[in-house]
Amino acid sequence: MSNSTVLQKETSKVHQEVIEANQKYVSEFGKKGELALPPARSFTILTCMDARLDPAKYAGLSEGDAHVIRNAGGRASDDAIRSLIISHKLLGTKEFFVIHHSDCGMALFTDQIIRNLLEKSLKTATVDSNGWRNLEESGGSDEAKFIPFLTFESLEKSVVDDVKRIRNHPLIPKDIPVYGYFYDVKTGKLVEVEEATKIGRAI
């Protein structure tokens, strides 16, 4: 790859791999440039950013099919709800899926733990039998106290809570069904959280 192809001259191996993969993708892009802006299958998935989850594969998606909103934990944060509102109001989606997953990192710490870590250091922390700790403690910030990290203890309860928040939001129409599932990272199966789906039923 020529250094002239990117503005950032100092690149990592991963950066180079991404640019090269994109060049290959462009060469095979075909007619995808003709896809319409609204998702063809008129639904949205809210799910976790975990690298083991591939919504295109576990939900059978192709480019142009659906909106996929991802964040840490797949939580119904203010920003996720902002995206859901736009997805429906301006782009016509009619069904929402909330999909969390087993073995989620968001259940391995609390808001207070990450705030304490960040207050002392911005470097990546580590975890062992004694819990989370910084490898070095310098250059931290107390700005984390203003961020709700939306950690949780119970996987199924987190799905229920998020479906409930979406269902009860005044800017989400009641005729949109909100389904609640979690993805089993050991099998690839989507497991329905029945209480969540009952709460999310369209009216």
Annotated binding site for Zn(2+): 48, 50, 101, 104
Structure tokens given for 113: 């733990």
Dist CA 34 CA 47 (whole Å): 27
Q: What residue spans of the chain are helical by DSSP H?
A: 13-27, 55-58, 78-89, 111-120, 155-168, 194-199
Residue 31 φ/ψ, nearest 5 degrees: -95, 15
Residue 148 φ/ψ, nearest 5 degrees: -80, 115
Question: Using an 8 Å Cβ cutoff, are 146 and 165 in contact?
Answer: no
User: From the annotation, which residues make up the binding site?
Assistant: 48, 50, 101, 104
